[in-house]
Amino acid sequence: MTSLTVVPLTSAGGAAWTVRAVDGPVPDRHSALRTTPVTATVPGEVHTDLLAAGVIPDPFDGANEGTLAWIGRTSWSYRIEFDWDADGHAVQELVAEGLDTVATVTLNGTVVARTSNQHRSYRFDVTALLVAESNELVIEFAGPVETANRLAEQLGVWPHTNLHPYNALRKMASNFGWDWGPDVATAGIWRPIRIESWTGVRIDTVRPLAGLDGDRGVLDTRVTLAWADGFTADATVAVEVGGTSTETTVPAGTAEVGVTSTLDAVDRWWPRGYGDQPLYDVSVSLRAGEQTGDWTGRVGFRTITVDVAPDEHGGPFVLSVNGKPVYVRGANWIPDDAFVTRLNRETYQRSIADAVDAGMNLLRVWGGGIYETDDFYDICDEVGLLVWQDFLFACAAYSEDEPLRSEVEAEARQAVTRLARHASLAVWNGNNENIWGYVEWGWRQPLAGRTWGEGYYFDLLPKIVAELDPRTPYSPGSPYSYDHFIHPNDERHGTMHIWDVWNQVDYSTYRKYQPRFVSEFGFQGPPAWSTLTSVVHDEPLDPYGEQMLVHQKANEGNLKLERGLGNHLPRWKTIDDWHWTTQLNQARAVAYGIEHFRSLFPLNTGAVVWQLNDNWPVISWAAVDGHGIRKPLWFALRRVYADRLLTVQPREDGPVVAAHNDTEETWSTEVTVARRSTAAGGEVLAQETFSLEVGPRSAVLNSLPASVATPGDPTTEYVEVRAADGSTAYWYFVEDTALQLVGDAFTSSVTATGDGYDVTVTATALVKDLALFPDRLDAAARVDSCLITLSAGEAHTFHVTGGAAPDTVGVPVLRSANDLVA
């Protein structure tokens, strides 16, 4: 017989769950929830259950977030009746992969357990509690907001950002609201739950670590086993990978066994842009008498290191795969929906494709979110996206005392055990900004000598990683300078977060930094018009409207949007101009920073922009909005994250053409640099050509010829850099507010196609940053390009998928910088 039989208790498995309110501030209009339960979906969350039942409106719409805040302060009881038939096995266990968060689990009137951690799974022996036929399982969740407040009062307040003391318990921090996310503190059975029955012995965990020994592949598979009391038969564990099978005999009662498999030759796994992503199937089988069990997964053979050894410039942060340094072009990743149980493999594929299509090679799973589902990491393995994985600590001090410490250790051990096999896993990171916070954010006085998380980041977590995943580098935090005696956010050492830009200073400040590696930086902009207006219904629409401000979470966010225009762009006059101007400024600010960072290569070894995605419709730093529409920022990232980048940058002796070649092939091309007029006709005022040759994974600087770099009238001239292979760059002598751009600088035409339509724009003068917004005509329409600059005589065709072709397009569907400043 098999060692394991499973009775799923999920809705997909036919289980009929209900949920009702049991305590807390339920509004009178919803008082029936105390006595009359509604149907619940498991896995799920109480918000999505109430929404599906028609009890509440969409929490994302209008100002509903505030009116529904009572849900997070209320306790909820999930209940199911299920039949169970004795199947001959000796042990029955209730397995809960995720309970959110402080829960009391009761089976047939007996309390089985009390839990307090969203980030771990649980297994409870219920052999003595199950009965034939009907069983009642009740899981009651304490209101998360009230629980966090109560714990903070009992244990003492540890410094934190945002409104609620999320650091008092082990729950997704951003679930309590963030400067880009809604305050929708959830409760529920958020991952699968089931009854498992087994006899004798079963596989508990499998941790296959794939590495390299020269050209050989070495797979070190660690298997933990659970044994039933009184079972005395020995077991055999066999591991098969790449056609090689290795087995070992395990004496009864052995808790863990290691099996080493060696493959004479393997294809190495590489991040995208550096090679292919071969993955090998791994199967683990267990035999003990008549008992059997199995586990399957995939691995990729590779080595990953991070070099932080001091050098002549300070201290680098160089991530290498298979001994080859990787220039990181990345983005920070937040939970892809505020209600994470709505995510699935298809949604992950769409959002990860946003990273791949933008030229990225790394995603950083940020510490205020969750350890993502296996789907996320599987897809990253398949497409070659490296994963920087934070442990779940963000922007706060954390107690190292019990009961929190034991929960931290349990969740970390589970997370490392589950994720260690993934080829894409590149870095374990202790926390987000907490070391920086302790040094600089005024925490020491309120802490008054209490622990704040240092013991986690410098002792507990690195020991767990060294024990369970020694092949993956560990970093204590981000930012961090890799020395206790250096400020953690020092540009000369390790990783840096740049947040004075956005919060305080103009984005031109990016060029004042020479960072070794930037793991966070960004700039805000609104979502697509259709996304914004689907949830904001202010009349008239205004940046400071009541509902607009519900969807702007940053402190003084709209003031910073306005101040951030500097002298780059004029202040808007209409809401349509506000939307276009701030989206454009966001894209320009981030591109400005990345082009500067790449021009510093090899001093700078990468950038991880904040952030790729949104978890609801909101004004934020994201490149892709909450409805999955790629903002102008995304198209700017696709350009500046290209394998080969041309950019013009200022240096002490004048502008230079910086070329960064992040490919394995030498980049050889002819480059024409021309100083041209912005007026109709775009007269060429000076022009020179030079040969460009950039070796593999390297960069060069070429001085801009004086004839081109010296304007006659800086307000009416610009520099166009054009390579024979199609790469382009531009240089302007003044900001757009002083640049004389022609208002009527192009013609356009629309042509219907089989899947949408084309819009062709032909320039008669310089047109800066052309953008087409088809979602303003049809929310389902998408465009393939954006932020296109054309010199006089050039043309570009935008291809739109979805939606019917309009007769013509103009403002506000077709925009450019020209129509803001001309």
User: Is residue 557 situated within a structural domain?
Assistant: no
Helix (H) or strand (E) holding 404: helix 404-419
Confidence of residue 2 (pLDDT cuts 50, 70, 90): low
**Based on the domain organization, do 665 and 605 belong to the same domain?**
no
Q: How many of the other CB atoms lie within 10 Å of CB of 495?
A: 30
User: Is residue 544 situated within a structural domain?
Assistant: no
Total number of domains constituting the chain: 5
Percent of the chain scoring above 70 in pLDDT? 100
Q: Return the pLDDT at 726.
A: 94
What CATH number should be reported for the domain holding residue 330? 3.20.20.80
User: Is residue 484 situated within a structural domain?
Assistant: yes
**Based on the domain organization, do 667 and 636 belong to the same domain?**
no
Confidence of residue 579 (pLDDT cuts 50, 70, 90): very high
Q: How many of the other CB atoms lie within 10 Å of CB of 56?
A: 19
Exposed e or buried b per residue across 78-111, where buried means at least 16 C-beta atoms within 10 angstroms of its C-beta: bbbebebeeeebebbbbbbebbbbbbbbbbeeee
φ/ψ of 800, rounded to 5, equals -110, 130
Q: Is 569 helix (H, G, I), strand (E, B) or coil?
A: coil
Q: Where are the beta strands (DSSP E) in 316-466?
A: 318-321, 324-326, 328-333, 362-365, 386-390, 425-429
Cα separation, 732 vs 741, in Å, equals 12
Q: Return the pLDDT at 330.
A: 98
321-368 confidence digits (pLDDT tens): 999 999 999 999 999 999 999 999 999 999 999 999 999 999 999 999
**Based on the domain organization, do 526 and 617 belong to the same domain?**
yes
164-212 confidence digits (pLDDT tens): 999 999 999 999 999 999 999 999 999 999 999 999 999 999 999 999 9
Nearest to 682 by CA among 791, 787, 780, 584: 791
Q: Return the pLDDT at 503.
A: 97
Evaluate whether 584 touches 565 at the Cβ level (below 8 Å): no
Evaluate whether 534 touches 616 at the Cβ level (below 8 Å): no
- Residue 16: is its pLDDT beyond 50? yes
Axis-axis angle for helices 461-468, 404-419 (nearest 10) = 30
What are the CB-based long-range contacts (under 8 Å, 24+) for 45-54?
45/100, 45/186, 45/187, 45/188, 45/190, 45/339, 45/340, 45/341, 46/19, 46/71, 46/76, 46/141, 46/186, 46/187, 46/188, 47/71, 47/184, 47/186, 47/339, 48/339, 48/341, 48/342, 49/19, 49/188
* Structural domain span for residue 761: 746-821
Q: How many of the other CB atoms lie within 10 Å of CB of 73?
A: 17
What CATH number should be reported for the domain holding residue 103? 2.60.120.260
Residue 454 C-alpha from the chain's centroid: 25
- Token readout for 242 is 């790449």
Q: Return the pLDDT at 133.
A: 83
220-247 confidence digits (pLDDT tens): 999 999 999 999 999 999 999 999 999 9
263-316 confidence digits (pLDDT tens): 999 999 999 999 999 999 999 999 998 888 899 999 999 999 999 999 999 999
96-125 confidence digits (pLDDT tens): 999 999 999 999 999 999 999 999 999 999
- Token readout for 508 is 């031109």
Q: Return the pLDDT at 822.
A: 83
Q: Is 766 helix (H, G, I), strand (E, B) or coil?
A: coil
User: Is residue 815 situated within a structural domain?
Assistant: yes
363-401 confidence digits (pLDDT tens): 999 999 999 999 999 999 999 999 999 999 999 999 999
**Based on the domain organization, do 210 and 180 belong to the same domain?**
no
**Based on the domain organization, do 159 and 228 belong to the same domain?**
no
Nearest to 803 by CA among 770, 772, 769: 772
**Based on the domain organization, do 663 and 787 belong to the same domain?**
no
Cα separation, 625 vs 633, in Å, equals 10
Q: What angle do CA 460, 464, 466 make, to 5 degrees?
A: 115
Compute CA distances 662 → 213, 329, 598, 644, whole Å.
Answer: 27, 10, 10, 6
Give me the residues paired with residue 111 across strands.
Answer: 106
**If DSSP states are collapsed to H, E and C, what string results for 572-633?**
CCCHHHHHHHHHHHHHHHHHHHHHHHHHCCCCCCEEEECCCCCCCCCEECCCECCCCCECHH
What residues have CB less than 8 Å from 244, skipping those under 6 apart? 261, 262, 263
DSSP assignment of 282-311: EEEEEEETTEEEEEEEEE-B--EEEE---B
**Based on the domain organization, do 270 and 320 belong to the same domain?**
no
Evaluate whether 286 touches 197 at the Cβ level (below 8 Å): no
Nearest to 208 by CA among 242, 254, 180: 242
Confidence of residue 1 (pLDDT cuts 50, 70, 90): very low
Cα separation, 124 vs 139, in Å, equals 13
Q: What share of the chain is helix, strand, coil (3-state, %, to 5)?
A: 25, 35, 40
User: Is residue 571 situated within a structural domain?
Assistant: no
Cα separation, 256 vs 726, in Å, equals 57
Residue 369 C-alpha from the chain's centroid: 9
**Based on the domain organization, do 16 and 48 belong to the same domain?**
yes
Cα separation, 601 vs 607, in Å, equals 11
**If DSSP states are collapsed to H, E and C, what string results for 472-502?**
CCEECCECECCCCCCCCCCCCECEEEECHHH
Cα separation, 420 vs 467, in Å, equals 11
Mean pLDDT score across all residues of the chain? 96
Among the candidates 148, 180, 196, a domain finishes at 196
Q: What angle do CA 350, 352, 357 make, to 5 degrees?
A: 90
Cα separation, 219 vs 421, in Å, equals 10
Helix (H) or strand (E) holding 23: strand 17-23
Among the candidates 144, 175, 196, a domain finishes at 196
Among the candidates 299, 332, 352, a domain finishes at 299
What CATH number should be reported for the domain holding residue 720? 2.60.40.10
User: Is residue 559 situated within a structural domain?
Assistant: no
153-176 confidence digits (pLDDT tens): 988 889 999 999 999 999 999 999
499-545 confidence digits (pLDDT tens): 999 999 999 999 999 999 999 999 999 999 999 999 999 999 999 99
User: Is residue 771 situated within a structural domain?
Assistant: yes
Cα separation, 168 vs 151, in Å, equals 6
**Based on the domain organization, do 602 and 691 belong to the same domain?**
no
Cα separation, 470 vs 463, in Å, equals 9
Q: For 25-143, where are the alpha helices, taking DSSP H only?
A: 46-52, 64-67
Axis-axis angle for helices 575-599, 632-640 (nearest 10) = 20
**Based on the domain organization, do 484 and 590 belong to the same domain?**
yes
Give the DSSP letter of residue 373. Answer: P
**Based on the domain organization, do 810 and 676 belong to the same domain?**
no
Evaluate whether 620 touches 180 at the Cβ level (below 8 Å): yes
Q: Return the pLDDT at 658.
A: 98
Q: Return the pLDDT at 173.
A: 98
Percent of the chain scoring above 90 in pLDDT? 96
73-91 confidence digits (pLDDT tens): 999 999 999 999 888 899 9
Cα separation, 703 vs 120, in Å, equals 56
Compute CA distances 514 → 311, 588, 597, whole Å.
Answer: 15, 19, 7
Strands 235-241 and 244-250: antiparallel
User: Is residue 318 situated within a structural domain?
Assistant: yes
**Based on the domain organization, do 63 and 181 belong to the same domain?**
yes
Evaluate whether 436 touches 477 at the Cβ level (below 8 Å): yes
- Token readout for 443 is 């925490």
Q: Return the pLDDT at 535.
A: 98
